Amino acid sequence: MRTPFGIAFQGVRDEPIRMGSLGYNVPLHRTLAFGFAAFMASLGGVLYVWWSGQIAPGNVDLPETINLLIMAVIGGLARIEGAWVGAFVFVLMQSYITDSVKVPLLGFGGTLFGGKFPTLVGVIFLVIVVVSPGGLMGIWDRLFELRGRLGRWRSVEPQPTGPAA
């Protein structure tokens, strides 16, 4: 994103006329970007078929698309690592949240929420979005920023204030 190549791609995406006037070949850059995105999508599709053993038209329906969007938002949309982190967390939730996870509705019987995977994913999704709109990678960035600030604060040594002897 911060390399000259990444900045050129951002410029081609945001201001194609300006980038063309600066001498960039806008159609070539767009073709390269779409080609690379198509290659990554095809690689993901091949890995999915290898993992599941089969592919069917129902594998690319609306619920699966929503799951992909949930993964992206959980991980964070601002950084590429967010997609990996979001997918990992979503698969962990899908594997370990079962019907046994329930929060009781105190005094009324029944459950407040739980017992259904989409309900719990929705609650976790909302908590992550409210706490950090940048997803889990946003929380990660804030923790490292806080750690850096605390490190600078602790490294400042107090100066003597009395008369020099």
Give the span between the Cα atoms of 113 and 120, in whole angstroms: 7
pLDDT recorded at residue 40? 92
pLDDT digits (tens, 9 = 90+) for 108-132: 555 555 556 677 778 888 888 888 8
- Indicate the helix (H) or strand (E) that contains 162: none
Query: How large a percentage of the chain has pLDDT more than 90?
Result: 19
pLDDT digits (tens, 9 = 90+) for 25-42: 999 999 998 999 999 989
pLDDT digits (tens, 9 = 90+) for 140-163: 888 888 888 777 766 556 666 666
Average pLDDT, rounded, for the chain: 81
Residue by residue, DSSP assigns 12-42 as HHH-HHHHHHTT--HHHHHHHHHHHHHHHHH
Q: pLDDT category, 81, cuts 50, 70, 90? A: confident
Helices (H), strands (E): how many in the chain? 7, 2
- Give the mean model confidence (pLDDT) for residues 9-29: 91
Per domain, the residue ranges of the chain are 1-57, 61-156
Residue of 139, 115, 33, 124 lying closest to 71 (CA atoms): 124
Give the span between the Cα atoms of 13 and 9, in whole angstroms: 6
Residue by residue, DSSP assigns 116-131 as SHHHHHHHHHHHHHHH
